[in-house]
Structure 1
């Protein structure tokens, strides 16, 4: 069935949530047209999307609260153990280019290295 429908027939398989599937869609539909499309009979899908977004928000908040509690317990310590679990909270140094300053002081240099990329951004209101 998959072979006949997707490989021979050229239909996309059912979305699976993977990054590879998203990349495939971005590749297939990288160009867009500035017209509108009305979708029918998909309200239940959008309702489920809203429910999942709310769950993710709640779970992210709960995850962050747990992290904060553990950090509060660790105080200045970099490494802690809870049973077999190892928890670390270490400093790390990150070097970044001060893009604002570079653009201000050397705009011609920045212009030489500017690269424009195009992608489609998916949003729902």
Structure 2
């Protein structure tokens, strides 16, 4: 909400979507979320900039691979730093700016090709 309060145009765009989809006479329900793409994009953007945890859940590599020039053998435990990925300017254009529109036309990012 703080990010949206600092950018009223984004806040009004989210409010307009809520008014159009939900209307003024009832509360938002979880089942409404699939019909609120802009609000969903706002939530994703907020979590990109301010993740709820510093690292993702640990994973184990299923094959030998190379990521950003580092060899990772099969069976290695791998941790990804959420803040580092979410604010990486090599992944996100204008990475520190709150911009929900970037999530409306998502393209897949191949982390193996990045120089982290």
Q: Which category of TM-score, normalised to the shorter sequence, fits these structures?
A: under 0.3
Greater relative contact order, per chain length (Cα 8 Å cut-off, separation 6+): 2
Structure ranking higher in helix proportion: 1
Computing the radius of gyration from Cα coordinates, the structure with the larger value is: 1
Q: TM-score, normalised by structure 2?
A: 0.24
Q: TM-score, normalised by structure 1?
A: 0.22
